[in-house]
């Protein structure tokens, strides 16, 4: 069976980011996976009912998605609004969709408080990064879905080649 991949909607060219933009990811593998019907697209924030555009949000005080999921962290907007519940709902929606579509892999935009898989911003809104993952990436990983960032397409290509050979 061909492995399915959950993909951040912004990487597929959808203008769903907080600033109303997209971050299209151009790679031959993306085109091939799209043609093969492997891609399942979702924006966790949009699935939770958040608007576009919306205020920038970061996980507070250098925390990570795992902190948010365990109740030890919050996601705050630059304006001070607490959007923790929406980010948790978005992560739960992503996990439910991944399970329903039998996605064993995810390709997510790095840096996002939802989708970041190797880094997120530190909560200061000054562009400072901390090692860690967003709420959705953390929940997917906790549930056995392998998460790759937009800079790790080649690693995902290699991983899928091994998977498809089985």
Give me the number of domains the chain comprises: 1
Range of the domain at 75: 4-164
pLDDT, tens digit (0-9, with 9 covering 90-100), for 18-77 = 999 999 999 999 999 999 999 999 999 999 999 999 999 999 998 999 999 999 999 999
The phi and psi torsions of 163 (rounded to 5 degrees) equal -65, -45
Could you tell me the pTM of the whole model?
Answer: 0.96
Scan for tokens 């924006």, then name that residue: 43
């Amino acid at each position: 069976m061909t492995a399915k991949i959950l993909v951040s909607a912004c990487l597929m060219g959808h203008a769903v980011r907080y600033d109303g933009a997209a971050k299209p990811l151009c790679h031959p593998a993306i085109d091939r996976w799209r043609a093969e019907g492997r891609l399942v697209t979702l924006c966790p924030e949009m699935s939770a009912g958040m608007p576009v555009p919306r205020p920038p949000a970061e996980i507070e005080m250098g925390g990570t998605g795992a902190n948010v999921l365990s109740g030890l962290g919050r996601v705050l907007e630059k304006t001070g609004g607490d959007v923790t519940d929406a980010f948790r709902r978005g992560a739960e929606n992503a996990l439910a969709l991944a399970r329903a579509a039998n996605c064993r892999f995810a390709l997510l935009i790095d840096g996002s408080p939802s989708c970041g898989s190797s880094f997120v911003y530190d909560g200061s809104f000054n562009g400072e990064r901390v090692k860690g993952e967003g709420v959705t990436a953390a929940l997917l990983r906790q549930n056995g879905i392998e998460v790759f960032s937009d800079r790790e397409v080649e690693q995902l290509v290699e991983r899928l080649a091994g998977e498809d050979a089985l």
